[in-house]
Copies of this chain bind each other. A is one copy, B any other.
Amino acid sequence: MNNSKIKSKIYHIIYGTDTLAGKTFDVALIGFILLSILVVCLESVPNYRTHFLFYFLVLEWILTICFTIEYFLRIYSHPRPLRYITSFYGLIDLLSILPTYLTFFIPGLHYLMTVRIVRLLRIFRILKLTHFIQNAQALKLALQASFHKITVFILAVLSLVLIVGTVIYVVEGPENGFTSIPLSIYWTIVTITTVGYGDITPQTPSGQIISSIVMLMGYAIIAVPTGIVTVELSKTAGAHNYVDSESFNCNQCGQKLNLTANFCSNCGKRVNDLS
């Protein structure tokens, strides 16, 4: 087997999903990524770091070396290596392995290790190639269609939050925990989104009245994004059914017809004649 054939074979295994080897590679890669994310998470637990640090390090280095080999194979087998390196997923792949090498040489950069969490994004490349993501298409379309309206909505909420935050800062004041306008805005967001941590709460009766109004407003406001997304989703669902799967037009009178129709419901022309 010559060099070009090997290259092509590696390319099909790494980038393709139509062969058994390609599918096995994808499933194994997902497993490796999930394992590596689990290591990042568990390593951060103080108790585990004390007892299992050695095992974490060994596992981390094995995974990093695997990902490094994969990275260079991707560069090697890609028809345009430079294009891959500068692409979004190329940079993600680099960011996935760099922190381990960097912290080996510069041991002080502890938090750098958390950058490895970007490995999660590598999963989406694999999902993109499969049929899995097609289920998410309707969702994506509806969210894109409602993006403008949701932006207007978020801007309106932010304005409201800014004004309510200032009012509550004046009413409650620093002595009740509302030490500054930014903190009061943070409290307003916590309240209007109905999260309600309770780390800062109104203490004066007038502050509690304002809070109550804000909460009831938040109750009515939450209806808006829901309404927007529902209408868009329902449009997508409706439009899809209408155009693609349920109707066609009679070529004699232009009447909209059901796919199951044998005759035009308006002029009585046989559907068999239509095409």
- Chain A residues engaging chain B, CB cutoff 8 angstroms: 37, 40-42, 44-46, 111, 114, 117, 120, 123-124, 135-136, 138-139, 142-143, 148-154, 156-157, 159, 162-163, 166, 169-170, 174, 179-183, 185-186, 189-191, 193-199, 201, 205, 208-209, 211-212, 215-216, 218-220, 222-235, 237, 241, 254-268, 270
Given contacts A260-B266, A263-B265, 17 further A-B pairs with CB under 8 A are A41-B182, A44-B181, A117-B163, A117-B166, A135-B151, A136-B149, A190-B212, A193-B194, A193-B216, A196-B197, A199-B201, A223-B228, A223-B230, A224-B229, A227-B233, A257-B265, A264-B265
The 3 residue pairs across chains A and B that have the minimum distance between CB atoms? A261-B265, A195-B196, A197-B198
B268 touches A170 (CB 8 A): no
Contacts of A222 in B (CB 8 A): 219, 222, 225-226
Nearest-CB distance from A193 to chain B (Å)?
Answer: 4
